[in-house]
Structure 1
Amino acid sequence: MAETSLSKSRTARGAPRAFGARLTRYLRRSETARGYLLMSPTLLIMTIGIVVPFIILLVISMWTRQGFSFDTTLTLANYARAWNEPIYGALLARSFWISGVATVATVALCYPMAYYVAFHVHRNKMMWLILMTLPFWTSYLLRVFAWKVILGYEGVINSGLSAVGLIDAPLAFLLYSPSAVIITLAHAWAAFAILPLYVSLEKIDKSLLEAATDLGDGPVARFLRITLPLSMPGIIAASFLIFIPTTGDYITPALLGGPDGAMIGNLIQVQFGAVNNWPMGATLSIVLMLWIAALALAFLLVTCKVQERIA
């Protein structure tokens, strides 16, 4: 009996060691397992910082407000209200329109700058990138206030146009309008477009452009056939980096948008703040995320198809 108990204890102690040895051999041989092991801290942080808050937000969105408290009975009444009331759909459509125009304007303005640095600057490229992103080292809120001063009724633009006699009264559409929100967003998020565009353009093999020139392609044909298709990943990345956060922005519309420039982010902020209707604010947040995911997926599919046809 003693020998049997001793052998069982040795077997019990040896099992974890054998399992550890097999696991070590598996990790050494499998590149996939090593990759997941390296990613595990990041995955853990993302799970804690993204998935868990999303689940909490989803649960809150199924509550209902009753006076100054919340009924925790799970229901889809808030989603039905968000679908049926026109104000929510109108604000969503306006948010997507403003963010889409700002995204196109930002990418269109930043592409030439990134192109110039990638193809025409041969020394001190890092210094050029630092200089282009230098204005964005200041606070986002300060940049928004700066544009409020520039676009104001007595701001730089109106004062300059009035001084040279081009206008008799301040231009009202510059401030507290969707155009003011688009201009400010395009400037505020330009740094997030310049860097991915530059990286995408910098990776293009210059010998392909030389070969196209030898075959008779001019600058326009060379750009459309080689540079633009090969830089499409940078355009897609820049578009995602701008469109997704600007759709939910509420600081710029609150300071510069006025009644016609309000976006869905302003309504969500009001629901969580002044109105104290957390379930409705959570519902609008979930709806906004779902719409953004659907639009981003559609945009990615369309751009991939266009890129295949161009190539």
Structure 2
Amino acid sequence: MSRRQRSGRLGRSEAASGLLLVSPTALYALLLLAAPLATILAFSFWSQDYLTIDRSFTLKNYQEAFASQANGDMSLYLELMFRSLRISGAVTVATVLLAFPMAYFVSFHVAPSRKSMWIFLITIPFWTSYLIRVFLWKVILGYNGVFNTTLQGVGIIDEPLTFILYNANAVVITLAHAYAPFAILPIFVALEKIDRSLLEASRDLGENHITTFLRVTLPLAMPGVVAAVLIVFIPTIGDYVTPRLVGGPGGQMIANMIQTQFLKLNNAPMGAALAVLAMLMVGAISVIFVMLNRRFLGGQK
């Protein structure tokens, strides 16, 4: 057997071994990821009359989603999508801005022997159910809740505040607390990877603490910030439990409408169309954010 034949057989055997190793993961991804997404996409081009599914191709669901109301305002579906975008954006900004100082403190000001304990403490909220945490915030922000009672007790307000529950503000506060650990951990990992000698070099060259942070620490920590933004933004825009419990009419999001279409109105195709539009919106915004961030980092270099 020639050398070329032996190398060809070796290459085929290695390729077969690689495919054999990858095939379980690929099959898993196809069955649990691609197949459901393809089903949702197919449903979005069908129609439903109570329990009867009409599989004829139609764009009626997408036309209804973009159609204006009788008074000329945008459709309810688009309004919910933009509201979801605003709430999720506010949650992301609030969570990352609050998470960065915590991650910075643990990384730069906590002794290495105690960092694991701090990370352990940060993950304590995950010990309780997500629903329990939402209900606790409902108790804290309620009309006669802990927050209003405390402010009245110290004389800051005369009557309970009504704008902190059953609206978008309550959704932002609750989601920001729920997703804080998801933002702290990737930022902490990025800060831990920074070579401390670079910070010392910046100080030796005459930079102060603020300029060193802005020109050295923050750019090097941006991969963690980007990860935190995406980890918080993507799931919060599709959250429906928190808006349902603490959002009230003004805090409902697109996921609540999708749930209503599927479970209450028996209109799975319309719910599927809204789900597809929400996924496209999230995907487009995420890609734009990553591209802008890469251009920013490229400009820093």
TM superposition score normalised by structure 1: 0.88
Counterpart AA for 2:88: S
TM superposition score normalised by structure 2: 0.91
The answer to whether 1:103 aligns with 2:92 is yes
Q: Residue 83 of structure 2 is aligned with which of 75, 94, 101?
A: 94
Instruction: Give the deviation of 1:76 after TM superposition.
Output: 1.4
In the other structure, the counterpart of 1:272 is 262
The answer to whether 1:239 aligns with 2:205 is no
Instruction: Give the deviation of 1:195 after TM superposition.
Output: 1.0
Instruction: Give the deviation of 1:309 after TM superposition.
Output: 2.1
In the other structure, the counterpart of 2:72 is none
Query: Which deviates the most, 288-297 or 36-45?
Result: 36-45
Counterpart AA for 2:241: I
Query: Which deviates the most, 79-88 or 150-159?
Result: 79-88
Task: Give unmatched runs, 5+ long, in structure 2.
Answer: 69-74
Counterpart AA for 2:285: L
Q: What is the distance in 2 between the residues matched to 1:191 and 1:254? A: 23
Go from structure 1 to structure 2 and tell me whether the alpha carbon gap of 1:108 and 1:20 turns closer, same or farther (over 3 Å shift): farther
In the other structure, the counterpart of 1:84 is 67
Counterpart AA for 2:246: L
Instruction: Give the deviation of 1:308 after TM superposition.
Output: 2.0
In the other structure, the counterpart of 1:54 is 37
Instruction: Give the deviation of 1:23 after TM superposition.
Output: 5.2
Greater radius of gyration (CA): 1
Three-state SS of the structure 1 residue aligned to 2:276 is helix
In the other structure, the counterpart of 1:306 is 296
Q: Percent identity?
A: 50
In the other structure, the counterpart of 1:248 is 238
Counterpart AA for 1:295: I
Query: What do the CA deviations read for 1:114-141 (whole angstroms, capped 9, x no partner)?
Result: 1111112222211110111112221111
Counterpart AA for 1:112: P
In the other structure, the counterpart of 1:70 is 53
Instruction: Give the deviation of 1:292 after TM superposition.
Output: 0.6
Task: Give unmatched runs, 5+ long, in structure 1.
Answer: 1-18
Three-state SS of the structure 2 residue aligned to 1:70 is strand
Q: Residue 281 of structure 1 is aligned with which of 235, 258, 271?
A: 271
In the other structure, the counterpart of 1:12 is none
Aligned residues: 290
Query: What do the CA deviations read for 1:124-174 (whole angstroms, capped 9, x no partner)?
Result: 211110111112221111110010000000100011111122222210001
Q: What is the distance in 1 between the residues matched to 2:300 and 2:152? A: 48
The answer to whether 1:224 aligns with 2:214 is yes
Three-state SS of the structure 2 residue aligned to 1:194 is helix
The answer to whether 1:141 aligns with 2:124 is no
Go from structure 1 to structure 2 and tell me whether the alpha carbon gap of 1:20 and 1:258 turns closer, same or farther (over 3 Å shift): farther
In the other structure, the counterpart of 1:125 is 115
Three-state SS of the structure 2 residue aligned to 1:272 is helix
Q: What is the distance in 1 between the residues matched to 2:200 and 2:30? A: 47
Q: Residue 113 of structure 1 is aligned with which of 89, 102, 106?
A: 102
Query: 2:50·2:267 contact (CA, 8 Å) conserved in 1?
Result: no
Q: What is the distance in 1 between the residues matched to 2:142 and 2:6? A: 68
Instruction: Give the deviation of 1:44 after TM superposition.
Output: 2.5
Q: What is the distance in 2 between the residues matched to 1:68 and 1:38? A: 43
Three-state SS of the structure 1 residue aligned to 2:53 is strand
In the other structure, the counterpart of 2:194 is 204
Three-state SS of the structure 2 residue aligned to 1:174 is coil
In the other structure, the counterpart of 1:6 is none
Go from structure 1 to structure 2 and tell me whether the alpha carbon gap of 1:36 and 1:191 turns closer, same or farther (over 3 Å shift): farther
Q: Residue 150 of structure 2 is aligned with which of 155, 160, 176?
A: 160
Instruction: Give the deviation of 1:21 after TM superposition.
Output: 9.0
Instruction: Give the deviation of 1:43 after TM superposition.
Output: 2.8
Instruction: Give the deviation of 1:34 after TM superposition.
Output: 7.3
Query: 2:50·2:266 contact (CA, 8 Å) conserved in 1?
Result: no
Instruction: Give the deviation of 1:236 after TM superposition.
Output: 0.5
The answer to whether 1:178 aligns with 2:161 is no
In the other structure, the counterpart of 1:7 is none
